[in-house]
A = this chain, B = another copy of it.
Amino acid sequence: MNPGRCAACRYLRRRCPPDCIFSPYFPPNNPQRFVSIHRIYGASNVAKLLQQLPSHLRTQAVDSLYLEAQYRIEDPVYGCVGLISLLQQQIHDLERQLAMTQAEIAFRARHPQAVESSLLNNVGNPSFSNQASSWFM
């Protein structure tokens, strides 16, 4: 056994050549990283992808492949597309909240007397924001 073999060559039970495409990104002390990537993409697909990239971009490519592989292992149906949907929903909710809050400011500017007493009584009351927002829905 060659203790200098990278994690990929160890997993694939092969000799680790001096110009191994995996070696710089899969050190022997972190075998799990290659196991996950291999399980989802297969060694030859990852090797092909890395070979197409300039070497200064390969670390980022392996990092993102590993992240996607982890998501796919955790959620075999949606992978990281599940996270993308969740983030898009979060953006939609925040945009809606922001639009309502901005409308609230414009409304208060145009009707200072109408809201002044409510404001002074309710600032700091978390339910007030929802109540006030309902004026603009």
Residues of chain A having any CB pair with chain B under 8 Å: 39-42, 44-45, 49, 52-53, 57, 60-61, 63-65, 67-68, 72, 76-84, 87-88, 90-91, 94-95, 97-98, 101-102, 104-106, 108-110, 112, 116, 119-120, 123-124, 129
- Assess the A81–B102 pair: CB atoms within 8 A: no
Number of copies: 2
- Complex: chain B residue closest to A124, CB-CB: B106
Expressed in whole angstroms, the Cα–Cα distance for A53 and B63 within the complex equals 26
| Most chain B CB neighbours (cut-off 10 Å) among A53, A76, A88 | A76
Expressed in whole angstroms, the Cα–Cα distance for A102 and B77 within the complex equals 38
Expressed in whole angstroms, the Cα–Cα distance for A57 and B75 within the complex equals 11
